[in-house]
Structure 1
Amino acid sequence: MPRARLGDQRNTVQKEAITAALAQSPGFVSAQDLHQRLNDDGNPVGLATVYRRLNALVDAGEADTIPVPGGQLFRACRPGGHHHHLVCEDCGNAVEIDPPSEDWLQDAAQRNGYTITRHLLEAFGRCADCTAA
């Protein structure tokens, strides 16, 4: 039994390290980049553990994820409210935005016989710093 406890403690330490590293990221980050950063900082953790923790944070509403060519990116977010992002394609920096109105989506769904269960709206471009570089 003590081994299981020790394993659980290590798991908790790893989970906390992953959560903290994600919170410190200024924008969206890949699981691979986060994994590399953790290991470079002396926090050895497996890539599978990073993926599991990031997806658990998404499921709990504590992180956002967006699909990109070649995988997905993650970002810590404030729990609760539904929100959208402007995402820099170069550096991954993101800002939360509110669309002018989501009534158009509900109207389009109703006209076509759909019931909206969820939606994603992310706008991609280049931030001012990357555009200037």
Structure 2
Amino acid sequence: MVQRQTRQKDAIREALRENDEFISAQDLHRWLEEHGTHIGLATVYRQLNALADAGLADTIRLDGQQLFRLCGDDGHHHHLVCVRCGRTVEIEPPSESWLRGIADAHGFTVESHTLEVFGLCPDCR
């Protein structure tokens, strides 16, 4: 299915490019408003979820809140995430053989994987 480009979608992608860390829909909406782009909060939610569904944005849950970040070009989605400030660092994934071994031990097959490790960054410790 081809998704059409819209002014709102372009503005949201650009805002995500400007914000390197994971960000909530509310904070992204506020950022857009502060930078002169007026988009409804429901539209921001809808567009962020569409980007995540299309594999163009990463999404995580932190403190009961869904956060989004534009995906990198390498296709891997593995991060260290600070639970206090949201700072995010991309990390190397565990080996495929380790993942398959864990899955096999529990009778699973691996379809896909993501890895988020939550803790405190050096500035927040």
The answer on 1:87 being equivalent to 2:81 is yes
What are the superposed Cα offsets for residues 26-53 of structure 1, whole Å, 9 maximum, x if unpaired?
2110011001111122211111111111
Separation (CA, whole Å) in 2 of partners of 1:12 and 1:81: 24
Separation (CA, whole Å) in 2 of partners of 1:46 and 1:13: 13
Separation (CA, whole Å) in 1 of partners of 2:6 and 2:94: 41
The answer on 1:73 being equivalent to 2:73 is no
Structure 2: 5+ residue runs without aligned partners? none
State which of 51, 54, 62 in structure 1 corresponds to 2:56. Answer: 62
Separation (CA, whole Å) in 2 of partners of 1:111 and 1:90: 34
What are the superposed Cα offsets for residues 41-89 of structure 1, whole Å, 9 maximum, x if unpaired?
2211111111111122222322111122322111112234223000111
| Residue matched to 1:103 | 97
| Residue matched to 2:14 | 20
Q: How does the TM-score come out when normalised to structure 1? A: 0.80
Q: How does the TM-score come out when normalised to structure 2? A: 0.85
| Conserved? CA contact 1:83–1:98, under 8 Å | no
User: Identity of paired residues, percent?
Assistant: 57
Q: Structure 1 residue runs of 4+, over 6 Å off?
A: none
Structure 1: 5+ residue runs without aligned partners? 1-7
Larger radius of gyration: 1
